[in-house]
Amino acid sequence: MKPIPIMLCGLAAAALPLAVWARPITYPGGTNVMVGTDPTMDMVHADYTINKDWALGWASTHYKDMDASAHGPQLTRGWRWNYPDSQANVYVWGGAGPTFVDDKAHASGWGGASADWEDRRWYTQAGTSFHTTANGPDFLWQTARVGVAPYVAEAGQLHSWLMLQVDHTPGARETWSATPMVRQFWGDYLWEAGVSTRGGVMLNLMKTF
């Protein structure tokens, strides 16, 4: 069996990207439910939008290889700047909860920040996040995304994006990775699919209620 610190480091590496692709704040009273899967994990994340600035959520993640799971509430604060043809957002979040390994719970906490700018043709985003675990290592991770829409869609039509995500995970076996992906959304649904240079297919789905 692998030592727990190494396993937890792996957990954090797998879990962190999902906090950034998600769009945690929607309209007041609305809820975003997000599910994601790749060869290493399955994830469910729900966020309730309290008002335009705050969302309260819950994240549950199961790690297939290690048969471990992490659960906990998460609070997100958002800021938005609206322009005639674009918008920019900054999100800051933090959460805490147990990480279960071999039926033993380890106290853990996490947080991060993300900024994005988009218009109807271009998308850019960058973020950083950390995960700290009692009796385990602190973990830091950074990501950046760029995207282009091959066509400009109107409200009610299928929106499509071609995106490239680059991840930097100090301490991981492969420090850098890139994931070309397709993002599409239509109505209340958003889904993403890509293939990472680390290997494996990534699929994410989000629905707003």
Partner 1 sequence: MKDKTMKTQTLTLGLLMATLSLPALAAESHEGMHQMPDGSWMKNAEMAAPEKAVNSAVKADKTVVASVNGLVCDFCAQSIKKTLMKEPGVTDVKVDLTAKTVTVGLKADGQLEEARLKGLLKEAGYDMIAYKVN
Cβ-count burial 93-116 (b if 16+ within 10 Å, e if not): bebebbbbbeeeebebebbbbbeb
Residue 176 interacting with partner 1 (CB under 8 A):
no
* Residue 120 interacts with partner 1 (CB under 8 A): yes or no: yes
Contact mark string toward partner 1, 66..85, x via CB under 8 A:
--------------x-xxxx
Q: Phi, psi (5° rounding) for residue 13?
A: -60, -35
20 CB-contact burial (10 Å; exposed 0-12 / middle 13-18 / buried 19+): buried
Rounded to the nearest whole angstrom, what is the least distance from the CB of residue 195 to partner 1 in the complex?
5
Nearest in space to 100 (alpha carbons), one of 75, 132, 131, 67: 67
Residue 87 binding partner 1, by CB under 8 A? yes
Kindly state the smallest distance separating residue 197's Cβ from partner 1, in Å.
11
Select from 65, 67, 174, 199 the one that contacts partner 1 (CB under 8 A). 199
Tell me whether residue 104 or residue 120 sits nearer to partner 1 (CB atom). 120
Q: Which is nearer to partner 1, 23 or 145 (CB)?
A: 23
Between CA 101 and CA 105 the distance in angstroms is 7
Applying CB under 8 A, the span of 57-65, 113-121, 130-138, 167-175 interacting with partner 1 comes to 113-121
Q: CA-to-CA distance for 151 and 128, rounded, in angstroms? A: 30
Q: Mask 6-45, x = binds partner 1 (CB under 8 A)? A: -----------------x-xxxx-x---------------
Q: Which of 72, 61, 81, 79 is nearest to 14 (CA)?
A: 61
Question: What is the binding site for partner 1 (CB under 8 A)?
Answer: 23, 25-28, 30, 51-52, 80, 82-87, 118-120, 150-160, 162, 180, 182, 184-188, 190, 193-195, 199-201, 208
